[in-house]
Amino acid sequence: MDDATILAELLPTAERLVDRHLGMAKEWFPHDLVEWRPPPTPTAAGVEPLPDGVASALFVNVLTEDNLPYYFAAIDGLFGRHGAWGYWTRRWTAEEGRHSIALRDYLIMSGHIDPTTLERARMAQVTGGVSPQPTSISDAFAYLALQELATRIAHHNTGKALPDAEGYGVMKRVAADENLHYLFYRDLVSAALEIDPSGMVEAIKRQVIGFEMPGTGITGFSGHAKAIARAGIYDLRVHHDSILRPVVLGHWDIAERQGLTPSAEKARTRLLQFITRLGRASVRGLTNSPAEMVEASSR
């Protein structure tokens, strides 16, 4: 099924999900979450140094949000600018932009990360313009559902690892938004599986096996991802136990989908094998970053 047909078929679903999102979303303001005060330097007395993995998580999180123009461009090009699809893309962009404001306010006020280093990294990230580029609507739906859930989990786990209530409050608020974004895309995938099961199964297989978090364009991302994994914020076990099992195998029930083409059957077999291998690797206690998951699954 081609992209235009999928978008037309799923327009009523998109309209319903947008209305649901607006009904569930709560208005909030970054300035209410962070107390404004003279910001300390990262080396000032009383500023508690963060573990490497937690500092890396905050660094990657805010720079990922800063790269929003490129994520918008990719989704806008696939979804189009009209109707519920265009409205959702713009609403999603506005909400994600608020995340970068809140995160940066917290980082500046807490002194956990040097603002000069952060700004130089932001300039490099946005100038580089690296972002995921799903090649079809089906791939976009699958990737965005997985990515939004991964982001929600990473934000939540980062918040729990912070030493102050203010930081936890910021990350909890941002994670709540990401959860609503995840629900939107998760249920789009469910609807797409009903109208084009073979196409969606093949897309899910591609996105699961090639999954990367959107921060891959950040300078030094691989090192940050490894530190985040070592800290248990987002690693192979989290990815398998909190995303692949409950969503791909559970909510989307990939193993039981009927009426697949031979190509989709082959993709499903490969996908299920991949998830099984990933599960075995996670049981062995490997703390791989997302970028290392494919290699780990083949051991």
Residue 294 has pLDDT above 60, yes or no: no
Count of C-beta atoms within a 10 Å radius of residue 121: 19
Q: Which fold has domain 16-234?
A: Ribonucleotide Reductase, subunit A (1.10.620)
Q: Residue 111: its pLDDT value, please?
A: 86
Give me the residue label for tokens 């936890």.
168
Return the closest-CA partner of residue 148 out of 245, 7, 243, 262: 243
Least confident of 67-71, 180-184, 204-208, 279-283: 279-283
Higher pLDDT, 116 or 214: 116
Which tokens sit at 42?
């990262």
Residue 298 confidence class, pLDDT cut points 50, 70, 90? very low
User: CA 45 to CA 64: how far, in whole Å?
Assistant: 30
Count of C-beta atoms within a 10 Å radius of residue 28: 15
Q: Residue 131: its pLDDT value, please?
A: 85
CB 112 within 8 A of CB 58: yes
Return the closest-CA partner of residue 67 out of 150, 142, 143, 128: 128
Q: Residue 219: its pLDDT value, please?
A: 85
User: CA 210 to CA 254: how far, in whole Å?
Assistant: 17
Higher pLDDT, 42 or 37: 37
Domain borders along the chain are 16-234
Residue 286 has pLDDT above 60, yes or no: no
Q: Residue 43: its pLDDT value, please?
A: 56
- Give 262: exposed, middle or buried? Use CB within 10 Å, 0-12, 13-18, 19+: exposed
User: CA 134 to CA 140: how far, in whole Å?
Assistant: 5
Amino acid type, 194: E
Model pLDDT for residues 228-262, shown as the tens digit of each residue: 999 999 999 999 999 999 999 999 999 999 999 99
Residue 159 has pLDDT above 50, yes or no: yes
% of residues, the chain, pLDDT over 70: 92
The chain-wide mean pLDDT, for the chain, equals: 90
Q: Report the pLDDT averaged over residues 122-129.
A: 91
Model pLDDT for residues 140-156, shown as the tens digit of each residue: 999 999 999 999 999 99
pTM for the predicted model, two decimal places: 0.91
